[in-house]
Structures are given as structure tokens and as C-alpha cells.
Amino acid sequence: MEAASFTSASSTTTPFSSYSSTSQSLRFLRYKPNAKPLNYKSSRSFSARASATSADDSVVTLLDYGAGNVRSVRNAIKYLGFDIKDVQTPQDILKAKRLIFPGVGAFAPAMDVLNKKGMAEALCAYIEQDRPFLGICLGLQLLFESSEENGQVKGLGLIPGVVGRFDSSKGIRVPHIGWNALEIAKDTQILDDVGNSHVYFVHSYRAMPSDENREWISSTCKYGDDFIASIQRGNVHAVQFHPEKSGDVGLSVLRRFLNPKSGRTQKLVQGNASKLAKRVIACLDVRTNDKGDLVVTKGDQYDVRENTEENEVRNLGKPVDLAGQYYKDGADEVSFLNITAFRDFPLGDLPMLQVLRYASENVFVPLTVGGGIRDFKDANGRYYSSLEVASEYFRSGADKISIGSDAVYAAEEYLKSGVKTGKSSLEQISRVYGNQAVVVSIDPRRVYVKDPKAVEFRTVKVRNPGPNGEEYAWYQCTVSGGREGRPIGAYELAKAVEELGAGEILLNCIDCDGQGKGFDIDLIKLVSDAVSIPVIASSGAGAVEHFTEVFRETNASAALAAGIFHRKEVPIQAVKEHLSEEGIEVRM
């Protein structure tokens, strides 16, 4: 993979002959397959001294190599009362008193940037000296010898092992997205508050435990097999999950790393985590009203205007305020759907970017944004690629982006030609940021047929017959907010976008939207059985029982709702309590 997409990459490499640690330093030797085992003695006294000298220092050094959403980590650090110094040169790494490396995206381009900027060697030297370090997600994976992502790519080689892809043949969905449980392997201070709580994962690749790396492992997680969820040796920590997206529990992990002497500032609610939880997602449809204000609205079969003489846009609140409230209410994710076409705005002035920036300051669960992820020109004729648009959303606080119409066109072309061009927004963004960062939003409507053989698309036998007694239906995909039907079915589209690089599917249903009669179980079962990536059920929720129904009768990984939450008809906590009472695991 080329690193050209990361504009901050430098083409020069700095020599590191002066970076070797001294004989007095507690070293972590880089892994050599034939070397004798490292005789490591736990150094509690060393850790205590290091903490004592840095506890009053409010500055944290952050290694941001220019990919993905690092704003969330920044916001979490600032929320906890610390200042940030960004790494500009390899020397900044070596001078750091404590270093956080929130790796985001794909393994190969990350290593490429680290090597080209001369930071890989500095990072190894820093860690080998047992100085306070926290790697997050890819920041854990890069510590290993190599990764199979995009071919065999060498890592930093500090921990023995190869990072490989999850095996979907074992009946699991890949990527691993959602809130899962940890199995603590040894006492490590930063995990002291986790207990039986869920933490948030989003990744397609993982490192596996082995005899060679066992002494590094501080916790594992079960998903198909047990994989390494965190490591710790001395002052060196790394986690595969995202603490900055794991709510109060995740903030406690960061707090204990940044200030090892800190105790709990609040009593955390202890959960009953034992496996991957089903997710409950709050969705906010955002658009400008007739006065030009950005508001959250909700459609009735995609019509967002009131049935009044004024025919005004339905206003259900302010997006940033509602996102913050849903976070407090226990939403597992918050999804923003931009349903206003801001075609004349320069990219940096898009109103949704401001919404993301403000929301991410106080919302520490995943944020997804959709709408307008495509190539476009602004009023000045400036061209922006879909990759540039997505990059700006990630930098502004989005963890995942959702592609709609553009993905439909790409799938149609792929099914017609059988060729992956690599030029579609879906393929480009997935290649640079990883498929776990890309959601495809599908907007189908039911088309009833008497004879399933009469159409070329996959049909289902429906629970409720059509207006003329039809027992079968196919689901026609639409674009442009449901206004234009396309010659492709939801089943065919889902299969195609999975092959093109989608990591998750948001499955809407125009017929059910705003009706409050339940999700379209026929549709959700059809699609969730057809793909091996997670599927989010959307459209139609009106009662807590609808969530139980969709999780029991389909393979949906998450369920999304909007209007019932906005109008306070059904609280998020009531949904979760009902699911838990029905034996469905959720994050409490």
C-alpha cells in the first residue's frame, strides 16, 4: 500500500546511531526467534519512580502519523485534564515522558509512514527503555513482528507473533465490531476498573497468544478464538480495544495510564460482560430547516416535513445536544446522517464537520457520519475526491463513514463488469482506512411479486402478503434519499459491497420507516444471512419488543432507532433492560 495518501509523510529518513539506550536502562530486546528467553524481572520500584517524577506533569506526547480519527483520543486526554504535545520529529518521541500511539487504519501504510519519517527506530528505542507507553488498536499490532494485512509486512518486531485476519469460517462476522468482554490474564493497573464491563473493539486483524509472547499478555478476548486484547511489561502498555470509545470504563483506562496514582473519580457501573454484546444505536438525521438552522429531524417513509399548512421541516432538537444526551443514556454508538446536500460549501466549511468536532468533545462512544461521501466540486470549482471528504470527516471526529448512493453505483458497475477498479469511494476509503471504517447504507423498498422466478433478483416469502395477495417480494435498492429506484436488489447489493470492501451494512427499509410497527424481519434475515460482515437493522422500531424480535429472529449485530428516542417514547435504557431480561447480552 502506498503511503502517498498520508500527506504528512516525509521522504527522508533520519539516522538513529545515537538512539541506543544506555547500559543502565531497563531494556526490552527486540524479538529474535533464536535468542535465549529474556530474563525479565518485574520492576515495580522503577515504575513507581517514573510515575512520581511525571505525575505532576500535565503534558502527554501523542504520536499521530496522519490517518483516521485521532481527535477522539485528543478529546479524551483533554477531558481528563491533560495537555498534548504532538510528535513532529523522532527526537520528540525520545524526549517524551509518556507517549500515546493511537494507531488507526491499515498496517502497511502506518509502517511506511513510521519508517519514512524515521520514527520507527525512535519508537523502538523509547519502548526498549521501559518508558511509559500506551498503544491503541493498530498501536498494539505494530509492536509485533509482522502482519498479513496487504501481504506480509514487517512490524516493529518488539513482540513475537504475526498479526493475522479473523477466520470468518468459524461462524464469526469480520470485522469484529462492538462491545466485548476481557479475560484478565495478569494484574495491570490500567485495567483495574474494567472488571466485568464491555469495551469497544473495531478491527479485522488480531494477534494470537503463543508461548513466545505469553509473558506480554495482560488480557485476552474471545471472538472465534482467544486473541490478545492487551499487553503489558513494565511501563509499556498497549490495547487492541479503543478506550477513547469505551465510555466511562475506557476513560478510566486512560486515566490510570496518564496518572498511575489516581484512584477512581467515580464509581463505575459493573456489568455482566461475557461475550460480544448486541448494540443499540441512536441515529440523528441532520439537515437545515427553512431558517437555515442545522436540526435533527425524522421522516415518515423519508418525508421530513410536517403535515401542516407551513409544511416546515420537523425539528426534534440540536444534533450536538442530542448526541451528548444519548451518550449519557447509554447508546452504544451515535450515527449522524447528513440529509442536506451542502454542494456549494468548501470542504473545510461543511456544517457536519463542526457537528462532529463539538460532539466528539464529550461523546466517548463511536460516531458514524453518512451523507455526501462522494467526489464533488464546490461553488469555486474546487474538486474534492471522496477520499478527501472521508479524511476530513475522520479528522473531525468520525470513527466510521457511511456511503449510500455512491456504493450502489459502484456495486452496479462491479456486477456488470466483474472487475474491481479500485476507483470507487468505497474501495479507496476501505483501502486506506481499513474496511472496519466503512459502512454501506442500503435504502430498499419492497416490490411484491406472485412468482419469484419472474424477477432476476433474490426474493423472499414474506410474512405479510402484498396488496393483491402476493406471497413473495424482492427489495429494490434506491438512491438520492429513496427518490430513485435502481435495477439492483438489496441481497445483490450487500454481497457486492462486501466484496468491494464494506465492513458493515446499515440496512434501512423505506416501507417501515417511521411506522413504529417493527423492523422488516424478512429483509434483515435475507441480508444478514447472506454476508459475513456485521449488519445493523434500521427502520420501524416502535417498542422494546421490536429489538428483541430482530435479535432473536435474524443475525443482526446491532439495531438502530431514531424517532422513538427523539420523542422520548422509548428510552435507550428501557430497550437495554428489556433485552437483558430476555437473555440477550447488551452493554449496561
What is the pTM (predicted TM-score) of this model?
0.87
Cα torsion 519, 521, 522, 524: sign? positive
pLDDT single digits (tens) 47-74: 333 333 444 479 999 999 776 678 999 9
The answer to whether residue 244 is catalytic is: yes
Cα torsion 576, 580, 584, 585: sign? positive
* Widest pairwise Cα distance in the chain: 84
pLDDT single digits (tens) 400-420: 999 999 999 999 999 999 999
Say yes or no: do domains 44-258 and 370-581 share a fold. no
Average pLDDT, the chain: 86
Q: What are all long-range contacts of 536-539, with beta carbons under 8 Å and residues at least 24 apart?
A: 536/279, 536/281, 536/439, 536/504, 536/505, 536/506, 536/507, 536/560, 537/507, 538/283, 538/506, 538/507, 538/508, 538/509, 539/508, 539/509, 539/510, 539/512, 539/513, 539/514
pLDDT single digits (tens) 190-224: 999 998 999 999 999 999 999 999 999 999 999 99
Question: How far is Cα 549 from Cα 507, in angstroms, rounded to an integer?
Answer: 16
pLDDT single digits (tens) 270-300: 568 999 999 999 999 887 776 667 788 765 5
> Across the beta sheet with 153-154, what order do the strands follow?
153-154, 144-147, 159-165, 205-207
Domain residue limits, the chain: 44-258, 370-581
Catalytic residue among 443, 504, 522, 549: 443
Residue 509 pLDDT class (50, 70, 90 cuts): very high
- Would you state the cell numbers that stand for residue 455, as one nine-digit string? 424477477
Please give the pLDDT value at position 376: 83
Residue 12 pLDDT class (50, 70, 90 cuts): very low
Which DSSP helix (H) or strand (E) runs through 515? Answer: none
Does position 43 have pLDDT exceeding 60, yes or no? no
Please give the pLDDT value at position 472: 98
Does position 531 have pLDDT exceeding 70, yes or no? yes
Return the minimum-mean-pLDDT range out of 180-184, 304-308, 510-514, 566-570.
304-308
Question: How far is Cα 441 from Cα 402, in angstroms, rounded to an integer?
Answer: 6
Angle ∠(573,577,583) on CA atoms, nearest 5: 145
Query: Which DSSP category does 118 fall into?
Result: T
Question: How far is Cα 4 from Cα 106, in angstroms, rounded to an integer?
Answer: 13
In percent, how much of the chain has pLDDT > 70? 82
b/e string for 389-404 if b means 16 or more Cβ within 10 A?
A: bbbbbbbbbbbbbbbb
Please give the pLDDT value at position 341: 55
The answer to whether residue 477 is catalytic is: no
Cell numbers 485534564: residue: 81
Catalytic residue among 112, 121, 285, 520: 285
Does position 25 have pLDDT exceeding 90, yes or no? no
- Facing residues of 217 across strands? 231
Catalytic residue among 203, 242, 546, 566: 242
Does position 320 have pLDDT exceeding 60, yes or no? yes
Catalytic residue among 244, 492, 549, 585: 244
CB-CB contact of 323 with 284 (8 Å):
yes
Does position 37 have pLDDT exceeding 50, yes or no? no
Please give the pLDDT value at position 16: 35
Does position 26 have pLDDT exceeding 60, yes or no? no
Residue 308 has a CB neighbour count (10 Å cut-off) of 8
Q: Binding site annotation covers 372?
A: yes
Domain 44-258, classified CATH 3.40.50.880, yes or no: yes
Question: How far is Cα 333 from Cα 327, in angstroms, rounded to an integer?
Answer: 8
Mean pLDDT of 321-342: 89
**Residue 25 or 278, more confident:** 278
Its CATH architecture, for the domain 370-581, is: Alpha-Beta Barrel (3.20)
Catalytic residue among 112, 128, 130, 137: 137
With CA atoms as reference, report the closest residue to 133 among 95, 100, 88.
Answer: 100
Return the minimum-mean-pLDDT range out of 27-41, 233-247, 518-532.
27-41
Q: Is cis: bond before 102, omega within 30 of 0?
A: no
* Residues shown for the chain: 588
Please give the pLDDT value at position 343: 47
Residue 351 pLDDT class (50, 70, 90 cuts): confident
The Cα-based distances of 85 to 78, 80, 136, 281, 364 in angstroms read: 11, 15, 17, 34, 21
Residue 336 pLDDT class (50, 70, 90 cuts): very high
Question: How far is Cα 332 from Cα 558, in angstroms, rounded to an integer?
Answer: 9
CB-CB contact of 259 with 55 (8 Å):
yes
Does position 46 have pLDDT exceeding 50, yes or no? no
The answer to whether residue 443 is catalytic is: yes
pLDDT single digits (tens) 118-128: 999 999 999 99
Q: Binding site annotation covers 508?
A: yes
The answer to whether residue 211 is catalytic is: no
pLDDT single digits (tens) 533-582: 999 999 999 999 999 999 999 999 999 999 999 999 999 999 999 999 99
Phi, psi for residue 13 in degrees, rounded to 5: -120, 135
Residue 307 has a CB neighbour count (10 Å cut-off) of 8
Please give the pLDDT value at position 14: 35
Please give the pLDDT value at position 98: 97
Please give the pLDDT value at position 454: 94
- Facing residues of 230 across strands? 219, 239
With CA atoms as reference, report the closest residue to 548 among 515, 513, 587, 575.
Answer: 575
Please give the pLDDT value at position 525: 98
